[in-house]
């Protein structure tokens, strides 16, 4: 009997690509040590958090799904591994059981890198040009 679990990890915003790969391989190793198998490892992207965690406003979420045979101590092992060994990267974690009746598709909130990022860039461009033109005019008037 195989049970499906998922782990949502909130990592520090300054996480690099190498660190993310390292995180994935380490967790994969832990799952394999408990005779399970990883199904997926997804990067959600950067988010503005609802409140400050470890004095940082932003964070990066990773969702990992894995299968575990029934009756192993993998889940408790994984919890301790994350809180002890990955202490410097992972700020919050949540491991939850996935009901087989519920479809595996899920919805997640928009990250900063998706739609709002474009808006911000657009605003920044416009603002930049606006400031520039008004400043230059000001200089001419003063002269």
For residues 47 and 12, the answer to whether their CB atoms sit within 8 Å is: no
Nearer to another protein, 45 or 72 (CB): 45
Token pair recorded at residue 9: 């990890």
Q: How far is the CB of 16 from another protein (least distance, A)?
A: 21
Nearer to another protein, 88 or 136 (CB): 88
Q: Which of 101, 105, 33, 92 is nearest to 65 (CA)?
A: 105
Q: How far is the CB of 52 from another protein (least distance, A)?
A: 9
Q: How far is the CB of 24 from another protein (least distance, A)?
A: 19
What span, in angstroms and rounded, lies between the C-alpha atoms of 53 and 101? 34
Distance between alpha carbon 25 and the CA centroid of its chain, in Å?
16
Distance between alpha carbon 62 and the CA centroid of its chain, in Å?
4
Token pair recorded at residue 78: 């994984």
Q: In what order do the strands lie in the sheet with 37-53?
A: 37-53, 56-69, 2-11, 90-98
Q: How far is the CB of 20 from another protein (least distance, A)?
A: 18
Nearer to another protein, 20 or 49 (CB): 49
Collapse the DSSP code of 99 into the 3-class scheme (helix H, G, I; strand E, B; otherwise coil) and give the result: coil
List of residues contacting another protein (CB under 8 A) = 8, 10, 47, 49-51, 53, 59, 61, 63, 92, 94, 96, 102-103, 106-110
Nearer to another protein, 1 or 102 (CB): 102
Nearer to another protein, 72 or 117 (CB): 117
Q: How far is the CB of 8 from another protein (least distance, A)?
A: 6
């Amino acid at each position: 009997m195989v049970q499906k679990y998922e782990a949502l990890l909130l990592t520090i915003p300054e996480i690099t690509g190498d660190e993310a790969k390292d995180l994935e391989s380490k967790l994969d190793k832990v799952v394999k040590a408990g005779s399970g198998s990883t199904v997926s490892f997804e990067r959600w992207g950067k988010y503005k958090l609802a409140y400050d965690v470890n004095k940082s406003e932003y964070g990066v979420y990773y969702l990992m799904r894995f299968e575990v045979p029934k009756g192993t101590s993998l889940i408790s092992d994984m919890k301790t591994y994350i809180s002890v060994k990955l202490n410097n990267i992972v700020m919050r974690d949540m491991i939850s059981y996935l009901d087989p009746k519920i479809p595996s598709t899920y919805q997640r909130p928009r990250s900063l890198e998706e739609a709002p990022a474009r808006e911000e860039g657009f605003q920044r461009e416009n603002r930049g040009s606006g400031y520039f033109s008004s400043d230059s005019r000001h200089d001419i008037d003063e002269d």
